[in-house]
A and B are shown apart, each in its own frame.
Chain A
Amino acid sequence: MLSCAIQSIRYGPRVVLENLSFTLRKGGFLLVTGDNASGKTTLLSFVAGVLAGDTQVRIDGRCDFPAGWSDSNIAFLSQNPEANLVGSDVRSEIFLHGGQRLARIEQTLNVLRFPAVLLGRKVKDLSGGQQQLLAIVSALVRDSALCVLDEPTAMLDAQNTGLVVDAVSRLLDVGTTVIVSSHNASFWQDIPGRRLHLTRLGTHSLAPAPEPNLGLSPDPMKGNGSAHRLDVRRLWYAYRRQQPTIRNLSCCVSGGDILHVSGRNGCGKTTLAKLLAGVLRPSEGRIRLDGMRIQEIRGYRPHFCGLTLQNPNSQILFPTVSKELAYCASLPSPDKEFDPHVYASDTCLRLGISDQADPRSLSFAQRKLISSLSYLNMPVLHILDEPAASLSDPLSDHLLRFIKIRQKLGLITVVISHGSDLLRSIRTKEVSLDP
């Protein structure tokens, strides 16, 4: 039996969790849901013994992980997949966690249908989704009594998500206690167990805020048919000593279009994002933005092209949210009707955060949204790589609103995502990279 009692957990003046308690029998399942920044990660960190404070976690009636429940008996998967991986290659990673439990390793790899081609790869050569899948393999091959998984499916495609849910079910069958946090409860609805919904304490600003006056034209489709044009012709790209990742891709996107790039984990979505942003040079083919080769854009690049990376930590540069959002906002915007400063203030209001807050003190999802909104100068082309992963509904709505504003301004937006729910209502074009 695992029992957890939390009196109060604070980050500075903000109360994150208060008067919370639950119990879980051996082999039980607990799904923790809630808004972003409601304390899901904090709760899981306390249960897993990562953080310590005014909290009591008892297992089998005893405190502080008694014999048989040592740290090594608790598998913990954090939201950042890179930090979960200990080995430098897939092989060492799996065996470091699985040891000589070869039957268990084989079963886990089979249940998750882990691609055999990845077994000989280095961790750094895996895509974000593949890294997350490997981290899940590592957590499941351990002989753990308790498995704590923080947003395990945030970066996985639908098929892999289903496989992970199936693997967790099997884990429960063998008596492992599992605690999962997720912003999407529907993935886990078939697993019986307890549900815990957290609400954000100490703020009420996530309630619908009044629409700010952004000074936009009343004509909602003003931008459609604008002169902007992204032209991709016969694009090929292969990493060194590997099969081509992008094969003969052609598409044409006009101003006001929202291009949705979809595909399974590891199909080359992020590679395409970097190609479109001019970070990588195509092996063959060409990419032109408004007639200019994307690699040869002269002048100030943020005027033309913005790229929001998958990992917000590497994107955030400034010490405060206001500076992070205001830097690009201070650049000349191609459209004078959009007031980026009003939008930046509105964003802080909706997130319920101070504009002087340190972006790194925010939750992972909040950081993700801030990094997505860091191009408020509204470049002609903005590529967002998995912007909605881990976002709860209010934050997703705010992101959608940002994308719609770009659409109204007649700008090109490329959204890379393994799921299509977010974009179903607004996408105007779609490219699938699945073979």
Chain B
Amino acid sequence: MREFLADHRERTVPVVLYCATSGLLPFVRSLLLFLCLYGCFLVLSWLLTRSRAVVAVSVLVTCGVTGIYSALLIALSANSMETVLSKYVCMGLSLSMIFCTGVIVFLDLPTFEISRIAKFVFRADLPVCAVLSGFRCVPVIFSASQDALLALRLRGLHRKGLLSVTLFLENVTINFLEFIADFGLQVSRLDLRALAHGATYASWTHVWSYVYVVLAVAGVVL
């Protein structure tokens, strides 16, 4: 246990260095990082497929989901607009990243690059809310899908054609929405301002993440 805690202490970066890399408002940083990553996804999907359709679908799905999701959260939220921007829009953006990734994966593209980017983005803990919601949701969708398939199979419904597809989609969608509702609640209760100012959960990977993002964007552009 002590090693576990000591390990956390060692990973904590000096406050000066942390502040130097997190001087912008959480929302602006979230937005910039999102735009960088989203740009990477789009360019990557274009390079891999040379298909305008893929890029177009990615853009449409992303914009649609982001808009609906953010509007829904803003409508349901009793918090101030600043809080909404710094918390929930990030979640909307990150959720849209999932769909964007999903479109690319669904089209059977190589996922190595995507998973590599995803990995360091997650470890970057920036923007914490967006990244966490994004990459926590992916395993939940997979897990919900697996459970729904299992439930269908165990009850012999998997051979029922359209009925099985309908039941599967309904089950996964409802479970995912329920999860998002509960999960959003927990995330909204985190003290993100403290997180963003390095009071908690700061690590060396956070600093390195900026370097990675810059290199990734530069690499794609060049």
**A residues apposed to B, CB below 8 Å:** 50, 52, 71-72, 74-76, 78, 80, 82-88, 91-92, 95-100, 102, 105-106, 109-110, 116, 119, 124, 277, 279, 300-302, 305-307, 309, 311, 313-319, 327-328, 331, 360, 374-375
Contact = CB atoms under 8 A, between A and B. Distances in A.
Nearest to B202: A100
A105 B5 CA distance: 9
Interface residues of B, number: 48
B140 A314 contact: no
B150 A309 contact: yes
Given A78-B182, A83-B186, A95-B200, A116 B1 contact: yes
18 contacts: A52-B78, A75-B189, A82-B140, A92-B132, A95-B8, A96-B132, A96-B195, A96-B201, A105-B5, A109-B1, A116-B4, A305-B154, A309-B150, A309-B151, A314-B175, A315-B151, A327-B155, A360-B178
Contacts of B140: 82
B185 interface: yes
B72 interface: no
Interface stretch (B30-38, B61-69, B141-149): B141-149
A277 B147 CA distance: 14
Contact of A119 (B4, B154, B187): B4
A125 B16 CA distance: 37
Given A83-B186, A88-B136, A375-B155, 17 more contacts: A50-B185, A52-B78, A83-B179, A83-B182, A83-B183, A86-B190, A91-B4, A99-B194, A102-B5, A301-B153, A311-B147, A314-B150, A314-B151, A317-B157, A317-B167, A319-B170, A327-B157
Contact of A360 (B9, B174, B186): B174
A84 B188 CA distance: 12
B186 A86 contact: yes
Interface of B, secondary structure class, is helix
Contacts of B175: 313-314
Contacts of B78: 52
Interface in B171-219: 171, 174-175, 178-179, 182-183, 185-191, 194-195, 199-201
Nearest to B148: A314
A91 B150 CA distance: 30
B139 interface: yes
B152 interface: yes
B156 interface: yes
B171 A314 contact: yes
Contacts of A319: 170
Contacts of B155: 302, 306, 317, 327-328, 374-375
B190 A102 contact: no
Contacts of A314: 144, 147-148, 150-151, 171, 175
A86 B147 contact: no
